[in-house]
Amino acid sequence: MGRRVIVIGGDAAGASAASQAKKRQPELDVVMFERGRATSYSACGIPYWIGGTVGSEAELIARSPDEHRAAGIDVRLRTEVTSIELDRRVVLWRDVQGGGTGAEPFDELVYAAGSVPMRPQVPGMGAAGVYGVQTLDDGAALRAELDSGRVRNVVVVGGGYIGLEIAEACRIRGLQVTVVDRSATPVGTFDPDIGAFIADAVRGVGIDLVLSDEVVAVQTNSHGRARAVVTASGRELPADLVVLGLGVRPNVGLAQQAGIPLGTSGGIAVDVRMRTTVDGVWAAGDCVESRHRLSSQPVVVALGTHANKQGRVAGINIGGGYATFPGVIGTAITKVCDLEVARTGLSSQEALAAGYSFVTASVDSTTKAGYFPGSQPIRVKMIAERRSGRLLGAQVVGRQAAAKRIDALAVCIWNEMTVDQILSLDLAYAPPFAPVWDPVLIAARKAFEAVEADVDHL
């Protein structure tokens, strides 16, 4: 028997690590435990499946368990790892359906247990009819509830990315939907002026927003099911269904019990090669902390993009190669109703917290030449460091092919470009795709002018 690698978690990070390690060293004995019933699926696509944009669950699965098995990976579905015994180098497992138990030895371990939905500690939050949406099984359970015909009123707790995507999916189904969020504008990682656009778009499709408020209790009926949500301001919102959209936290319980150290962010501490401080133990995905390249602070960012990259890095290294994960800059994008929103780098609040002094510039433009049919409004905001002009952050909001402009700005931030350098970029132009001055270039010009004006006043 070859060297044995145990992988805990069969989605993005775990499956990528298992695949890379096995590909590079076919003699490895790779066992991948997955508590759910699917591997390598798109959790980010679940809201679109619930809303009907994606036709079937199968479309969300990038690589099935059988495909992994055909590549030589021993996939154990519906099997939960219950304990990691580092001194004996074994994991203990339990069959979720049958209840059987067992132990598997390992030479190397990949911890890729992902994340779990944040659940506020308020009365009634554990009642029937309260759902988190993190795994494919979660999505299937929520969809079955929505298909039951007994749901008319939905309350989404939290106005972040997932919360708003689920709210829209429920609204598409013709349900009455209310989103409750403690912030003054939804998606708090955006600056308030951009958040205001998001709020208008959400209200525009008939979703009620209760902002600057929070849930303090879930009331239940005589059968123990959710019937209403109570907020701190005293509102009582009818709720046949409650969906948690407060974000996620790293699923690190097993790691903590085993003595695998966490970082200050709450995620598992790893180096650039995805190694923990325990010899032979690796970690990747939503459960680990990463270095933010601008703030230099450890952060946990739960995105499939990073999970796949981190899993790949771990797998390459386990397989005898060499790879590193260089960090994150906070790039994110979503569609809120018919509005596209995206961000990269630091928000104004994050830049302040990181100790930067900065100027900001915002421009309103169009996605195509103004005279071209189908041209839509777009706003681009830039945050630049004082004096140096280095781009620290950017946010984009608009319609129809607006938000993917964030990728160009993410590349600029990654390479530490200044706004005057961005101003000179050779970006593509044709009337069907952009004005002669692309909104990115206009924003860079305004940001450069703000940097110059700031220097003049020193």
Q: Sketch out the chain's domains with CATH numbers.
A: 4-43+53-115+249-318 (3.50.50.60), 119-246 (3.50.50.60), 340-456 (3.30.390.30)
Residues 366, 76: Cα–Cα separation, whole Å:
51
Would you state the pLDDT for residue 228?
A: 96
Could you confirm whether 44 is annotated as catalytic?
yes
User: What tens digit of pLDDT does each residue of 69-127 get?
Assistant: 999 999 999 999 999 999 999 999 999 998 999 999 999 999 999 999 998 899 999 99
| pTM of the predicted structure, to 2 decimals | 0.94
Residue 156 has pLDDT above 60, yes or no: yes
How confident is the prediction for the chain on average, in pLDDT? 95
Residues 337, 114: Cα–Cα separation, whole Å:
28
Residue 199 has pLDDT above 80, yes or no: yes
Q: What is the mean pLDDT of residues 251-257?
A: 97
Would you state the pLDDT for residue 401?
A: 83
Residue 458 has pLDDT above 70, yes or no: no
148-152, 306-310, 315-319: the lowest-pLDDT one: 148-152
Query: Predicted confidence band at 433 (pLDDT cuts at 50, 70, 90)?
Result: very high
Would you state the pLDDT for residue 249?
A: 95
Q: What is the mean pLDDT of residues 65-71?
A: 97
Query: Predicted confidence band at 263 (pLDDT cuts at 50, 70, 90)?
Result: very high
Would you state the pLDDT for residue 48?
A: 94
Q: What is the mean pLDDT of residues 321-335?
A: 96
Query: Predicted confidence band at 457 (pLDDT cuts at 50, 70, 90)?
Result: low
Selecting among 44, 170, 337, 412, the annotated active-site residue is: 44
Query: Predicted confidence band at 371 (pLDDT cuts at 50, 70, 90)?
Result: very high
Would you state the pLDDT for residue 416?
A: 98
Residue 2 has pLDDT above 90, yes or no: no
Show the 3-state SS of the chain.
CCCEEEEECCCHHHHHHHHHHHHHCCCCEEEEEECCCCCCECHHHHHHHHCCCCCCHHHHECCCHHHHHHCCCEEEECEEEEEEECCCCEEEEEECCCCCEEEEECCEEEECCCEEECCCCCCCCCCECEECCCCHHHHHHHHHHHHCCCCCEEEEECCCHHHHHHHHHHHHCCCEEEEECCCCCCCCCCCHHHHHHHHHHHHHCCCEEECCCCEEEEEECCCCEEEEEEECCCCEEECCEEEECCCEEECCHHHHHHCCCECCCCCECCCCCCECCCCCEEECCCCECEEECCCCCEECCCCHHHHHHHHHHHHHHHCCCCCCCCCECCCEEEEECCEEEEEEECCHHHHHHCCCCEEEEEEEEECCCCCCCCCCEEEEEEEEECCCCEEEEEEEEECCCCHHHHHHHHHHHHCCCEHHHHHCCCCCCCCCCCCCCCHHHHHHHHHHHHHHHHHHCC
Residue 1 has pLDDT above 60, yes or no: no
β-strand partners of 29: 4
